Amino acid sequence: AQTVTQSQPEMSVQEAETVTLSCTYDTSENNYYLFWYKQPPSRQMILVIRQEAYKQQNATENRFSVNFQKAAKSFSLKISDSQLGDTAMYFCAFRTETTSGTYKYIFGTGTRLKVLA
Amino acid sequence: DTGVSQDPRHKITKRGQNVTFRCDPISEHNRLYWYRQTLGQGPEFLTYFQNEAQLEKSRLLSDRFSAERPKGSFSTLEIQRTEQGDSAMYLCASTAFGRHTQYFGPGTRLTVL
């Protein structure tokens, strides 16, 4: 069964510093998509960054970048120049194709990140 | 494009009552997902629609749960004979055909007393 594991339940970082959130996953598929979503307190979940497994180049979105290690099935998120607005739950997610040819998304348990002033 | 909307945002009900939630996806999105999220956990997949067809259901979706998406537009999720264990945030997400990113609604928080 496909699983997504986030081993850091909580993390904190000083404003303007860099922090890395870890994610590992398990799959036998070769082509898939990985995502990091952010869920601020009492607000809806939004996409932070996406990585296609067939791309070797790590995805980058402004201050957010990933370190995608396909062989190790690792997908970590690096946040540079952390801002107070980055305080949120961060979920790693994996898109898998089902036996019926549809897609479903599997989420990790999340990492609660707190940015300290 | 006003994003994914969900109604109501909060629902408090007594055990044994029926509740219904509504999700309005982004207008051009033909794929719609329902998730359940309990405190401190990530979203758990419940069911998936492509247009009006319900193509995938999780084993989490007991026979007390039913979902519909008439005409492939909005969707409803009904829970019959609610139990305290049903207390959770129910999230809806939509995706455009050929795309891979889900867009989430704000969720409906259900509390069963």
Q: What is the largest CA-CA distance in chain A?
A: 49
Given 3-state DSSP classes, what are the helix, strand and coil percentages for chain B, each rounded to the nearest 5?
A: 5, 50, 45
Report the chain B residue with the minimal C-alpha distance to residue A48: B101
- Would you call A55 an interface residue with chain B, using a CB distance cutoff of 8 Å? no
pLDDT of B1 higher than 70: no
Q: How far apart are CA B64 and CA B54, in angstroms?
A: 16
Using a CB-CB cut-off of 8 Å, the residues of chain A touching B33 are 104-105
Report the chain B residue with the minimal C-alpha distance to residue A93: B42
Give the tens place of pLDDT for each residue, B35-90.
999 988 899 999 999 999 998 888 878 899 999 999 889 999 999 999 999 999 99
Taking only the tens of pLDDT, chain A with its 117 residues reads 689 999 999 999 999 999 999 999 998 888 889 999 999 987 889 999 999 998 889 999 999 999 999 999 999 999 999 999 999 999 999 988 877 777 889 999 999 999 999
Chain-centroid distance, C-alpha A65: 10
Chain A segment 1-30 residues within 8 A of B by beta carbon are 4
Q: How far apart are CA B109 and CA B78, in angstroms?
A: 14
Q: Which pair of structure tokens corresponds to residue B77? A: 């999720």
Chain-centroid distance, C-alpha A96: 15
Of B48, B103, B106, the CB nearest to A102: B48
Cα B35-B72-B19 angle, rounded to 5 deg: 45
Check A45 against B100: CB less than 8 A apart.
Answer: no
Report the chain B residue with the minimal C-alpha distance to residue A41: B106
| Extended strands (E) in chain A | 3-5, 10-14, 19-21, 24-26, 33-39, 46-52, 60-61, 64-69, 74-79, 88-97, 103-107, 111-116
Q: What pLDDT shows up at residue B8?
A: 96
- Best interface-test mutation with B: which of A3, A104, A109 has the largest number of B CBs within 10 A? A104
